[in-house]
């Protein structure tokens, strides 16, 4: 029986950051612990957040790494507890928001992080974490409204955690914070959002509201041309608004689940030393997965063509590849730094990833190997 959960308060508008102080107080946050990264601090956005907050934070952790790690989350969770904070404010992309969720979980739960992993039933062990306000500064992950987080574990896996208690109590979405984001990051994060919308639609899980939201997100990013506009002109406020909405919608949609693109991206992303961007991995894998699943969800492919403004019968994989080319996404995994010898590990971990279960057509190790080899170029 389908169960539908859309429970997060979202404050969404250009200039919405000014409401942060009032929103924090409304959720009982008087001594916030801010989680962000060095780039956000250097850009001046952290200072804007502190000004809008109106009170001195109990602590600031501004060293979040891309693809956040269990090791760093343990350190930051201890700092959170020592600071006397009563809530968390995450500022940045998906890494900062996922890291903040992990900090909240570790600060309030006693068992090792790995026991809470979704694929072993750990979700039911996740109780209430400190109130979390998430402020995205990219339009891609949608972590500000999602039930999940993805953490690179000390055991080498890139693990997915999912529970209602991981949903931020407030998503403060201010598209103005993405103005001027570099073109390559706009492209990579935008393709993350696009992939969320498409994969969520294609999963076999029955959830018509979430599916409808996914179609709308794909329409904004591709059909309305907003992703290309945002990449072309970082100061295009209208494009930034629609891309942040597409990102938000992508996360609402993937309560249905995800699929092979994310299984592969998570598996490749665990190679921390290669510093691979999750959204870029999604973009490179997406056309190949769409070709693999062609014929497995014909009605959904037809509706995706419609909302994306494509002709009936158009090749979705070719359309995505053309979009990738237009916005400067690398054509191959090899161009990102992956090689043949990385393939077996990627396939092994893809088969274990939670997203693997969401494929519209079952995928075997041989299928993932074929996709990886083709995408390698």
Q: What is the pLDDT of residues 97-151, one digit of tens each?
A: 999 999 999 999 999 999 999 989 999 999 999 999 999 999 999 999 998 899 9
> What's the rounded Cα separation, in Å, for the pair 61 and 51?
17
pLDDT on residue 4? 45
pLDDT on residue 370? 98
pLDDT on residue 1? 32
Element (H, E) at 59: strand 59-61
Q: Beta strands of 131-224 (E only): which ranges? A: 132-136, 148-152, 158-162, 170-173
Note whether 316 and 301 are within 8 A (CB): yes
269: nearest Cα among 151, 104, 122, 147: 151
pLDDT on residue 111? 96
Note whether 288 and 368 are within 8 A (CB): no
- The pLDDT tens digits of the residues spanning 58-80 come to 999 999 998 899 999 999 999 99
298 CA to centre of own chain: 26
End-to-end CA distance of the chain: 42
pLDDT on residue 2? 45
User: pTM for this structure?
Assistant: 0.92
The rounded mean pLDDT for the chain is: 95
Q: How many CA atoms lie within 13 A of 248 on its CB side?
A: 25
pLDDT on residue 3? 44
> What's the rounded Cα separation, in Å, for the pair 118 and 131?
21
pLDDT on residue 7? 66
Low-confidence residues of the chain: pLDDT under 70: 1-7
> What token pair was written down for 32?
């916030």
| Structural domains in the chain, sorted by start | 9-177 (3.40.50.1970), 182-376 (1.20.1090.10)
């Amino acid at each position: 029986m389908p169960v539908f959960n859309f429970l997060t308060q979202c404050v969404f508008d250009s200039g919405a950051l000014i409401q942060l102080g009032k929103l924090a107080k409304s959720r009982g946050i008087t001594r916030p612990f801010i989680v962000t990264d060095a780039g956000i601090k250097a850009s001046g956005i952290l200072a804007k957040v502190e000004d809008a907050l109106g009170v001195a934070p109990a602590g600031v952790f501004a060293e979040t790494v891309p693809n956040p790690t269990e090791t760093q989350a343990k350190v930051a969770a201890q700092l959170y507890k020592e600071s006397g904070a009563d809530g968390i404010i995450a500022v940045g992309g998906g890494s900062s928001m996922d890291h903040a969720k992990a900090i909240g979980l570790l600060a309030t739960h006693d068992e090792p992080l790995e026991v809470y992993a979704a694929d072993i039933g750990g979700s039911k062990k996740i109780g209430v974490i400190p109130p979390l306000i998430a402020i995205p500064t990219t339009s891609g992950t949608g972590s500000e409204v999602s039930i999940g987080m993805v953490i690179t574990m000390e055991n080498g896996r890139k693990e997915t955690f999912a529970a209602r208690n991981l949903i931020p109590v407030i998503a403060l979405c201010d598209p103005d914070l993405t103005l001027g984001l570099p073109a390559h990051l706009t492209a990579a994060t935008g393709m993350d959002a696009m992939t969320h919308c498409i994969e969520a639609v294609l999963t076999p899980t029955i959830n018509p509201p979430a599916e409808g939201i996914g179609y709308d997100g794909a329409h904004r990013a591709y059909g309305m041309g907003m992703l290309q506009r945002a990449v072309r002109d970082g100061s295009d406020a209208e494009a930034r608004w629609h891309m942040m909405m597409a990102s938000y919608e992508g996360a609402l949609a993937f309560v249905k689940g995800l699929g092979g693109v994310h299984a592969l991206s998570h598996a490749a992303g665990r190679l921390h030393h290669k510093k691979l961007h999750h959204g870029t991995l999604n973009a490179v894998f997406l056309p190949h997965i769409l070709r693999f699943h062609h014929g497995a969800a014909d009605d959904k492919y037809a509706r995706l063509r419609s909302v994306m403004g494509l002709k009936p019968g158009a090749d979705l994989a070719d359309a995505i590849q053309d979009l990738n080319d237009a916005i400067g996404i690398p054509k191959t995994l090899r161009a990102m730094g992956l090689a043949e010898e990385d393939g077996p590990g990627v396939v092994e971990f893809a088969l274990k990833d939670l997203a693997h279960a969401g494929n519209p057509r079952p995928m075997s190790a041989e299928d993932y190997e074929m996709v990886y080899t083709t995408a390698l170029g």
